[in-house]
């Protein structure tokens, strides 16, 4: 059974998805709300799959000083998302991240799970790919039965998920383009690599040009959508329109 480590920050304005706020009609507070919605959808997907959910959160000490809370509520804020998202919040395990960079924190988590807890497979997700559904998680787990590393390709060379049954050198392993870098690290360790279907991630305003029409189209067709993310898109009035031949993100008042 795959343990899915969701690398989560408290959804604070300016701390999360800051580039999205700078390149879209969304404010920093709204970008933080979208981040929270996507995290909740990821929690739901893991809960409905055969995986175990490990919410790996950053402590106050690991956050940039400008975004720290003197009362130290980082864990409580992330736990609140699980309470909102899951029928049984006790399904999720919460552990603080260890390491000075994302690469170190992700690597420490994977190595701890594989080596110390002796799990069969472990996966790392950021929770910014809301269409990473139960079915895709199940496919990930199946591919990890015959491959040491399974990666989910995304736009701009990103990886929306990285699954492992064997460790790699995680030093700068998520450096841009992370999909290629992770593959190189796997090759260096003589690990077989498999790939999932392409899936969009949401980190910039340009990424919303893919997300918003996909959500609205599936909503209209009464197909499966990531519920919390879809609710945010509709309630915020986000829509993509044609502006002199160019797809443009707008918000309806």
What pLDDT is stored for residue 51 in this prediction?
A: 81
All structural domains of the chain = 2-201 (3.90.550.10)
Residues near 51 by Cβ (< 8 Å), separated by ≥ 6?
1, 2, 3, 4, 123, 137, 141
Residue with tokens 């055969």: 50
Give the C-alpha separation, 122 to 107, whole Å. Answer: 11
Residue 50 pLDDT exceeds 80: no
Give the C-alpha separation, 236 to 234, whole Å. Answer: 5
Give the C-alpha separation, 249 to 211, whole Å. Answer: 11
Angle, vertex CA 136, rays to CA 76 and CA 211, nearest 5: 70
Q: Write phi, then psi, for 158 (nearest 5 degrees).
A: -80, 170
- Contact status, residue 162 vs residue 114, Cβ threshold 8 Å: no
Distance of CA 172 to the CA centre of its chain: 18
pLDDT, one tens digit per residue, over 163-219 is 999 999 999 999 999 999 999 999 999 999 999 999 999 999 999 999 999 999 999
pLDDT, one tens digit per residue, over 89-114 is 999 999 999 999 999 999 999 999 99
Phi-psi region of 104 (alpha: psi -120 to 50; beta: other; left: phi over 0): alpha
Residue 58's pLDDT band (cuts 50, 70, 90): very high
Task: Using a cut of 0.85, tell me whether the model's pTM lies above it.
Answer: yes
The DSSP secondary-structure symbol of 98 reads -
What pLDDT is stored for residue 71 in this prediction?
A: 85
């Amino acid at each position: 059974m795959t343990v899915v480590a969701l690398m989560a920050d408290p959804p604070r304005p300016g701390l999360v998805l800051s580039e999205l706020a700078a390149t879209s009609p969304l404010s920093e507070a709204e970008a933080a709300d979208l981040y929270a919605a996507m995290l909740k959808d990821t929690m739901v997907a893991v809960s409905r799959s055969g995986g175990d959910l490990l919410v790996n959160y950053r402590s106050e000490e690991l956050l940039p000083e400008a975004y720290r809370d003197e009362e130290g509520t980082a864990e409580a804020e992330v736990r609140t998302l699980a309470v909102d998202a899951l029928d049984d919040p006790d399904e999720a395990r919460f552990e603080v991240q260890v390491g000075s960079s994302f690469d170190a924190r992700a690597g420490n988590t994977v190595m701890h799970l594989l080596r110390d807890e002796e799990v069969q497979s472990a996966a790392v997700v950021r929770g910014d790919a809301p269409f990473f559904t139960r079915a895709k998680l199940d496919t990930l787990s199946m591919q990890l039965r015959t491959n040491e590393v399974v990666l989910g390709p995304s736009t701009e060379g990103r990886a929306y998920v990285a699954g492992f049954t064997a460790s790699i050198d995680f030093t700068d392993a998520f450096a841009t383009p992370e999909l290629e870098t992770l593959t190189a690290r796997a090759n260096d360790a003589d690990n077989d690599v498999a790939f999932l279907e392409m899936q969009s991630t949401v980190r910039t305003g340009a990424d919303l040009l893919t997300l918003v029409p996909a959500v609205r189209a599936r909503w209209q067709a009464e197909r499966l959508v990531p519920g919390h993310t879809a609710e945010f898109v509709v309630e915020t009035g986000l829509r993509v329109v044609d502006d002199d031949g160019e797809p443009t993100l707008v918000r309806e008042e």
